[in-house]
């Protein structure tokens, strides 16, 4: 059931919410004040590795008719594109590195290696999704206008096809992202200015031409006799990137425990309540440092949503503090291994293709810090009676 | 010039910057090499590197091989006095411009991960023409200011080999070629630097006019370029160098100036120095209604400010507003009827960023100050004094 008041849901008094808000403000301040040469070196190193990977991949693929070269080249190209989209592009466009005052690594100038134009991404993602996170009817990322990912979305026979849409979206993720800011739903309801639609389509078309030209025409042609094998390598690399980013991104807000909200929640929402909504609406996954980097640090989805514009390399230390605060205030902090988080997502998508209204049952595993709605209600009754009544 | 707008101008519309005589024709500003062939090759290669530019890869091989952001390499740091040094900078690709003697250049230096920008007058003489001269090293001369952490770093902390960023030379404080027949230079302290470039240029071109140069410095030891100026005077009979050391002769004001240079009224005059000196000059020349003959260069050190609110100019929209220190730039712009980019209005989404061209703005959340050449989030910043936004 979607939440219409985060404070009541999290059984916190007004004073507690405000105190929590101040704690998060303090984390932001500490990180902002300590940003420095090490952080700058981090993003420079990642960018350098990514560009080397791209050069090595393209060169290797000139010999793509040799199976070993095909495999190595494709792997490097996929890894390079994943790094670029996830840890570099997504985070740079969030303004995480704007503080360096370097126009070459700046949210105002960055363009990424995918078909979605940066300006449209920044609108649909940085603004709409990160401001109205998980608010049904406001955040287009709740199911991306195609999928029913929460029982709060009304069932329609069209949802019977969900398993297929889901598979297609995974394979063609880059294209789904490119079209996301168009907001097909709004177009269908004639809520959108045709001029704006035209402007956006033009932007997408310009970007698509360049991306397709590079991956599917220019580099295959430069490979000469290896045209077809280079083409298949490039298609494969883009596909791998699509599948990976789809999986990581779906683990951000669709696993069990990541709550959805009604538009009522937005009314008079304070900054502290906004923080709280970000925590309740997001899910982390754990893993090695390499996994986190390849996932664009989205394994720290909660921290990313609290502080979308703080440098991603600082999320691990931020996470320690956020987790401690969540323990202290007894706020659910959703985290689990990647395979289980994605397993829950897949199960939800399959189940909600049917007109079921039941919330998927929540498996309780040791080390998993999360609470069901019932548990929270019990807490609300015992711990903060005034909040529960209000 | 703002970093962001500068980039837009160079990358997207090279014609905009190619509107002065110096830069017209073969000297396109957008390519590593001049000439349209190189430009065509660059565009073709950019099809392969999209969404990046070839420069983004090349500068990893050699930091100077990028025209995306103008770069330079410090090849030498020459101490001039106890607190001033000359930086010899080799410009990288894209520096296909010739500067004029007297102009200044923006220099960006990275400190603790962050690029800081300041403008300094160029002290070297420009090349005498032709593309091959234009990538010769240029020099700026910097005086360490007591509270200027950046000037301090430039004078004492910069190692040869350091890569800096450069902004295109600009400034109206220039000498026409050929120069007027009778000239007066009046300089104080580090205000000597643009005039040194002019003196060197006059000597190189062999066009030294009847010139009086009055230079003030606190002490004899702190006078920058002293030997070179005296040597110049000994080589050119038309050049008269007058020195004033405050500790020996007292401060040279407008009254003393007309004593040491009685025919000042007949001379085209260039003045560069501390604010009181500029004010004295302005008053003196205004009294005699000769301001047309007076050229001033103002150095305003951009330091922290306690100002709140100010006159905000929205340059591209040709609008302005007087706002208080609690009104965000976004609100101010919208109130002035400008289509400001906006997003979350709470400082997290970075979609409202606008380049700050001049002045200082303050982050209302934590008091952080942003100075010119930064892109600022308009939804959480307010003017701290007069400022100019590029929108």
Q: What tens-digit pLDDT sequence spans chain B (391 residues)?
A: 333 333 332 232 222 223 333 333 333 334 444 557 878 888 899 999 999 999 999 999 999 998 888 999 999 999 999 999 999 999 998 887 788 999 999 899 999 999 988 889 999 998 765 555 567 889 999 999 877 788 899 998 899 999 999 988 888 999 998 999 999 999 999 999 999 999 999 999 999 999 999 999 999 999 999 999 999 999 999 999 999 999 998 888 888 888 999 999 999 999 999 888 999 999 999 999 999 999 998 765 544 457 789 999 999 999 999 999 889 999 999 999 998 988 888 888 898 999 998 899 999 888 888 888 888 999 999 999 999 999 9
Tell me the backbone φ, ψ of residue B349, rounded to 5 degrees: -100, -15
Whether A17 is in a domain gets the answer: yes
The answer to whether the CB atoms of B349 and A130 lie below 8 A apart is yes
**Closest Cα to residue A215, out of A380, A325, A336, A84?**
A84
Whether B103 is in a domain gets the answer: yes
Is the CB of B117 inside 8 Å of chain A's CB atoms? yes
Q: What is the CATH number of the domain that holds B56?
A: 2.40.30.10
pLDDT single digits (tens) A157-173: 999 999 999 999 999 99
Whether A380 is in a domain gets the answer: no
Name the domain boundary from B166, B190, B221.
Answer: B166
Distance (Å, whole) CA A213 – CA A74 = 18
- The nearest CA of chain B is from the CA of A65 a distance in Å of 21
Whether A381 is in a domain gets the answer: no
Domains in chain B, number: 3
* B positions 53-92 inside 8 Å of A (CB): 56-57, 60, 68-69
Tokens representing B359?
A: 């002045």
Nearest by CB to residue A130, choosing from B112, B344, B353, is B344
Whether B304 is in a domain gets the answer: no
Nearest by CB to residue A107, choosing from B108, B113, B350, is B350
Whether B344 and B319 share a structural domain:
yes
Whether B291 is in a domain gets the answer: yes
Average pLDDT over residues A80-104: 96
Whether B370 is in a domain gets the answer: yes
**Closest Cα to residue B212, out of B128, B270, B272, B293?**
B270
- The nearest CA of chain B is from the CA of A96 a distance in Å of 9
Whether B29 and B125 share a structural domain:
yes
pLDDT single digits (tens) A257-279: 999 999 999 999 999 999 999 99
| Number of neighbouring beta carbons within 10 Å of residue A320 | 11
Whether B91 and B239 share a structural domain:
no
Whether B161 and B244 share a structural domain:
no
pLDDT single digits (tens) A320-338: 999 999 999 999 999 999 9
Residue ranges making up the domain that contains B108? 3-166
Cα dist from A257 to A43, A251, A280, A317, A380, whole Å: 32, 11, 8, 23, 17
What are the residues facing B73 on neighbouring strands?
Answer: B90, B163
Name the domain boundary from B297, B326, B353.
Answer: B297
The answer to whether the CB atoms of A111 and B4 lie below 8 A apart is no
Whether B363 is in a domain gets the answer: yes
Q: What is the pLDDT of residue B346?
A: 87
Q: What is the pLDDT of residue A260?
A: 94
Q: What is the pLDDT of residue A359?
A: 54
Q: What is the pLDDT of residue A185?
A: 82
The answer to whether the CB atoms of B366 and A32 lie below 8 A apart is yes
The answer to whether the CB atoms of B3 and A101 lie below 8 A apart is yes
| Number of neighbouring beta carbons within 10 Å of residue A154 | 8
Whether B111 and B219 share a structural domain:
no
Q: What is the pLDDT of residue A184?
A: 83
Distance (Å, whole) CA B306 – CA A229 = 64
Whether residue A272 contacts residue A10, with contact meaning beta carbons closer than 8 Å, is answered with no
Whether B173 is in a domain gets the answer: no
Whether residue A285 contacts residue A337, with contact meaning beta carbons closer than 8 Å, is answered with yes
Whether A383 is in a domain gets the answer: no
Whether residue A95 contacts residue A107, with contact meaning beta carbons closer than 8 Å, is answered with yes
Name the domain boundary from B141, B166, B191.
Answer: B166
Question: Where do runs of H (alpha helix) occur along A94-151?
Answer: 118-121, 130-131
Whether B197 and B289 share a structural domain:
yes
- The nearest CA of chain A is from the CA of B353 a distance in Å of 7
> For residue A203, is it left (φ>0), alpha (ψ between -120 and 50) or beta?
alpha
| Number of neighbouring beta carbons within 10 Å of residue A17 | 22
Q: Which residues contact B197 (CB under 8 A, 6 or more apart)?
A: B101, B102, B121, B122, B123, B124, B125, B126
Whether A306 is in a domain gets the answer: yes
The answer to whether the CB atoms of A213 and B350 lie below 8 A apart is no
Going by their DSSP bridges, the two strands B310-314 and B387-389 should be labelled as: parallel
CB contacts, 8 Å: A92 with chain B: none
Kindly state the helix (H) or strand (E) to which residue B119 belongs, with its residue range: strand B114-121
- The nearest CA of chain A is from the CA of B368 a distance in Å of 10
Whether B145 and B202 share a structural domain:
no
The answer to whether the CB atoms of B346 and A274 lie below 8 A apart is yes
Q: What is the pLDDT of residue B129?
A: 55
Q: What is the CATH number of the domain that holds B329?
A: 3.10.20.30
Distance (Å, whole) CA B330 – CA A50 = 36
Whether B124 and B189 share a structural domain:
no
Q: What is the pLDDT of residue B299?
A: 67
User: What DSSP state is assigned to residue A320?
Assistant: H
**Closest Cα to residue A82, out of A213, A240, A204, A250?**
A240
Whether B231 is in a domain gets the answer: yes
Mutate to test the interface with A, among B351, B372, B380 (most CBs of A within 10 A): B351
Mutate to test the interface with B, among A43, A127, A138, A234 (most CBs of B within 10 A): A127
Distance (Å, whole) CA A123 – CA B110 = 31
Residue ranges making up the domain that contains A271? 6-375
Tokens representing B272?
A: 């560069």
Nearest by CB to residue A210, choosing from B50, B110, B116, is B50
Distance (Å, whole) CA B245 – CA B222 = 9
Kindly state the helix (H) or strand (E) to which residue B245 belongs, with its residue range: strand B239-245
The label of the residue with tokens 């297609």 reads: A168
Whether A327 is in a domain gets the answer: yes
Whether A301 is in a domain gets the answer: yes
Whether B109 and B203 share a structural domain:
no
- The nearest CA of chain B is from the CA of A365 a distance in Å of 34
Whether B221 and B91 share a structural domain:
no
**Closest Cα to residue A318, out of A345, A274, A278, A366?**
A278
Kindly state the helix (H) or strand (E) to which residue B375 belongs, with its residue range: strand B374-377
Whether B232 and B278 share a structural domain:
yes
Distance (Å, whole) CA A273 – CA A254 = 21
Q: What is the pLDDT of residue B110?
A: 94
Distance (Å, whole) CA B38 – CA B32 = 8
Domains in chain A, number: 1
Whether B213 and B354 share a structural domain:
no
Is the CB of B366 inside 8 Å of chain A's CB atoms? yes
Whether A388 is in a domain gets the answer: no
Q: What percentage of chain A carries pLDDT values higher than 90?
A: 82
Tell me the backbone φ, ψ of residue B281, rounded to 5 degrees: -65, -45
Whether B175 is in a domain gets the answer: no
Q: What is the CATH number of the domain that holds B199?
A: 3.40.50.80
**Closest Cα to residue A234, out of A51, A61, A50, A56?**
A61
Tell me the backbone φ, ψ of residue B180, rounded to 5 degrees: -60, 160
CB contacts, 8 Å: A127 with chain B: 343-344, 349, 351
Sign for the CA dihedral angle at B130, B135, B141, B144 comes to positive
- The nearest CA of chain B is from the CA of A162 a distance in Å of 31
Lowest mean pLDDT among A12-21, A297-306, A360-369, B216-225: A360-369
Helix (H, G, I), strand (E, B) or coil at B140: strand
Q: Which residues contact B286 (CB under 8 A, 6 or more apart)?
A: none
């Amino acid at each position: 059931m979607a939440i219409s008041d985060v404070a009541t849901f999290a059984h916190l008094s007004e004073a507690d919410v405000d105190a929590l808000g101040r704690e998060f403000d303090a984390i932001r301040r500490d990180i902002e004040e300590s940003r420095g040469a090490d952080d700058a070196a981090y993003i420079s190193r990642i960018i350098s590795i990514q560009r080397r990977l791209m050069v090595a991949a393209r060169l290797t693929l000139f010999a793509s008719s040799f199976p070993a070269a095909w495999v190595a080249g494709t792997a490097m190209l996929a890894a390079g594109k994943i790094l670029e989209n996830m840890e570099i592009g997504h985070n740079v466009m969030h303004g995480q590195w704007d503080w360096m005052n370097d126009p070459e690594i700046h949210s105002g100038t960055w363009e990424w290696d995918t078909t979605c134009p940066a300006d449209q991404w920044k609108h649909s993602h940085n603004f709409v999704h990160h401001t109205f996170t998980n608010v049904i009817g406001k955040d287009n990322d709740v199911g991306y206008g195609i999928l029913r990912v929460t029982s709060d979305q009304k069932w329609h026979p069209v949802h019977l096809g969900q398993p297929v849409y889901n598979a297609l979206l995974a394979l063609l993720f880059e294209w789904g992202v490119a079209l996301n800011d168009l907001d097909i739903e709004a177009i269908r309801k004639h809520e959108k200015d045709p001029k704006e639609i035209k402007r956006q389509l033009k932007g997408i078309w310009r970007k698509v031409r360049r991306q397709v030209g590079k991956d599917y025409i220019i580099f295959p042609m430069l490979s000469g006799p290896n045209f077809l094998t280079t083409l298949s390598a490039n298609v494969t690399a883009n596909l791998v990137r699509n599948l990976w980013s789809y999986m990581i991104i779906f683990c951000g807000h669709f696993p069990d425990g990541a709550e959805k909200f009604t538009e009522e929640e937005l009314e008079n929402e304070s900054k502290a309540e906004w923080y709280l909504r970000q925590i309740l609406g997001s899910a982390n996954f754990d893993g090695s440092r390499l996994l986190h980097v390849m996932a664009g640090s989205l394994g720290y989805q909660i921290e990313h949503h609290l502080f979308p514009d703080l440098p991603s390399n600082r999320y691990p230390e931020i996470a320690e503090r956020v987790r401690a605060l969540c323990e202290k205030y007894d706020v659910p902090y959703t985290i689990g291994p990647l395979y289980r988080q994605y397993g829950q997502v897949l199960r939800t998508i399959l189940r909600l293709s049917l007109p079921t209204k039941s919330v998927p049952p929540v498996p309780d595993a040791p080390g998993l810090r999360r609470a069901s709605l019932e548990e929270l209600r019990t807490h609300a009754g015992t711990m903060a009676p005034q909040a529960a009544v209000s | 010039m703002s970093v962001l707008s500068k980039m837009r101008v160079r990358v997207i519309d090279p014609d905009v910057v190619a509107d002065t005589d110096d830069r017209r024709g073969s000297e396109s500003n957008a390519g590593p090499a001049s000439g349209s062939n190189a430009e065509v090759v660059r565009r073709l290669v950019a099809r392969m590197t999209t969404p990046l530019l070839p420069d983004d890869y090349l500068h990893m091989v050699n930091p100077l091989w990028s025209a995306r952001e103008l770069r330079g390499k410090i090849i030498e740091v020459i101490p001039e006095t106890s607190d001033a040094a000359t930086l010899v900078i080799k410009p990288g690709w894209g520096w296909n411009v010739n500067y004029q003697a007297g102009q200044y250049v923006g220099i960006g230096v990275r400190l603790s991960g962050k690029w800081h920008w300041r403008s300094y007058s160029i002290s070297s003489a420009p090349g005498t023409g032709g593309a091959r001269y234009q990538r010769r090293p240029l020099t700026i001369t910097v005086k360490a200011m007591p509270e200027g952490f950046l000037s301090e770093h430039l004078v004492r902390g910069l190692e040869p080999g350091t890569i800096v960023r450069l902004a295109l030379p600009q400034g109206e404080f220039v000498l026409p070629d050929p120069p007027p027949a009778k000239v007066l230079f009046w300089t104080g302290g580090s205000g000597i630097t643009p005039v040194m470039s002019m003196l060197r240029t006059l000597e190189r071109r062999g066009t030294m006019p009847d010139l009086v140069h009055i230079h003030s410095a606190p002490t004899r030891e702190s006078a920058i370029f002293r030997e070179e100026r005296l040597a110049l005077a000994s080589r050119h009979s038309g050049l008269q160098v007058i020195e004033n050391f405050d500790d020996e002769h007292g401060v040279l004001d407008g009254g003393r100036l007309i004593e040491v240079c009685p025919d000042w009224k007949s001379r085209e005059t260039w003045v560069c120095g501390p604010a009181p000196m500029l004010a004295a000059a302005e008053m003196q020349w205004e009294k005699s209604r000769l301001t047309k003959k007076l050229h001033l260069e103002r150095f305003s050190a951009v330091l922290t400010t306690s100002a709140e609110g100010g006159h905000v100019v929205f340059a591209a929209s040709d609008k302005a507003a007087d706002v208080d220190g609690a009104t965000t730039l976004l609100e101010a712009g919208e109130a002035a009827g400008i289509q400001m980019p906006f997003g979350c209005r709470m400082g997290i989404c970075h979609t409202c960023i606008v380049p700050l061209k001049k002045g200082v703005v303050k982050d209302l959340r934590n008091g952080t100050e942003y100075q010119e050449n930064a892109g600022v989030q308009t939804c959480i910043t307010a003017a701290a004094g007069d400022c100019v936004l590029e929108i």
